[in-house]
Amino acid sequence: MKKLFIIAIFLLIIACNTKNEDQKKLDFVEFDFHFDTESNEMPYNFSSYWDTFPTIVDRTAWEFAKIGNIERMHEIWDTKESIEIGLTQEQRDSFGLYKAMDAIDYILNEAEDHQVVIINEAHQMPQHRIFTTRLLEGLKRRGFKHLGMEGYFNTPQADSIMQANGYPILDSGYYTQEPQFGNLVRTAFDMGFNIFGYESSGHANGKEREINQARNIESYLNRYPNEKILIHCGFDHVYEGDMPNNSMGWGKAMAGRLTEFTGVDPLTISQTIYSEKGNRDYENSYYQITDLERPSVFVNESGELFGQQRKETSLDLPPMGTFRYDIAVFHPRSKKYDRPQWMVYGDRKEVELSFVEENIQCPCLVLAYKKGEKVGKAVPYDIQETDDKKVTLVLDKSDFEIVILNQKNIALKAEFN
């Protein structure tokens, strides 16, 4: 027994030494840093700044998401949500007939027979952008070559900016400044997708915007007839058919207008209904009774998707929102808010960094830039705010430049590889 105990201690010492050898001390140097953008607005601000704008709910939530503060994003966004109506026992029993399936596998299988796939996002949810990113490889294998982004305007200048750099830059758009949106664009570039913007400009109202968006996509389809296109849009633009009760005065959303103008029946995917909120009482009633480990769709024994059989109905209460799209994705809840588990996939891993020995006053923003992309001009690969000089970033196997920036605009930089 004593011999086994000695062996165990020896193995523990080896393991500890190995872990220490794997940890790299970064050599930070002070340098002159600025965000290289034509806009007068700072692309990334500290939490203390956005805490002074509690009434601007949408913008504040988006800004917290941009600096990786998912917990504060949820807290802000919850203030604009209404509590869902509870389910009856009959509705619970009916939902129990559906079983969870892997959403990525299901969507890729369905995409085989479609020329156009439209998937939406909630603009405050980086999780949705990561899911679209994870679809790209499989869609590429199935012949998809083009990615249309609501985040970019439909202008030759916007397209040339994207193509010239080969990576997302701060001046390309607003939503695209969020790191996971940037990574969606970055991954699409690396895979050889042609990226185009289809956002409307100069519209007078929501109806004109939906029409203009659809016309812009129609024009792109005419340039590339019979080629497969993925469209990444926001919120309700994914809805097909007439909007219920002429919601928002649109008549039809972008997806419905696209079918009207082209005759193309897109595969439409919603991510915005069945996702977590900061307070579970604000979540969709069906989502509240799920506990998932991966993005899923729910299918019954007849092969019907949950919500699909009500696609043509004008009302679906409770809860609202499960109509007029083909596939509803149920996302897993975050296991923790500082670095949610849905950020870690493929070769992306959590990397713990500490700069407690550095002479810099916090709070600080820690920004990770891919080596080869211009620091301050590119959209960072990841961002975290810290008060204690310790952060956890989620990075892939690339080489990075790590930038520490405080409120006095003092900056440090180090190589990480």
Residue 158: what pLDDT?
56
Domains of the chain are: 20-43+347-416 (2.60.40), 89-311+321-328 (3.40.50)
Residue 21: what pLDDT?
35
The strand pair at 400-406 and 364-370 is best described as antiparallel
Per-residue tokens: 186 = 């970055």
Per-residue tokens: 77 = 């966004």
In angstroms, rounded to a whole number, what is the distance separating the alpha carbons of residues 208 and 202? 9
Instruction: Lay out the sheet containing 99-102: strands in order across.
Output: 99-102, 296-299, 327-330, 267-274, 116-121, 228-234, 144-153, 194-199
Within 8 A by CB and 6+ apart from 160, the residues are none
Residues 209-225 pLDDT 10s: 999 999 999 999 999 99
Residue 224, number of CB atoms within 10 A of its CB: 13
Residues 146-201 pLDDT 10s: 999 998 887 665 556 566 678 999 988 899 999 999 999 999 999 999 999 999 98
Q: Dihedral, CA atoms, 166, 172, 174, 175, nearest 10 degrees?
A: -30
Residues 284-326 pLDDT 10s: 889 999 999 999 999 999 998 987 644 454 344 334 444 589 9
Q: Which amino acid is at 288?
A: Q
CB burial readout 249-260, b (16+ within 10 A) else e: ebbbbbbbbbbb
Q: Is the pLDDT of residue 7 over 60?
A: no
The answer to whether residues 226 and 210 touch, using CB atoms and an 8 Å cutoff, is: no
Phi, psi of 381 (to 5 degrees): -70, -35
Burial of residue 8 (CB within 10 Å: 0-12, 13-18, 19+) is exposed
Residue (of 334, 68, 22) closest to 179 by Cα position = 68
Q: Which amino acid is at 96?
A: G
Averaged pLDDT, 332-355: 92
Q: Is the pLDDT of residue 343 over 60?
A: yes
In angstroms, rounded to a whole number, what is the distance separating the alpha carbons of residues 171 and 195? 16
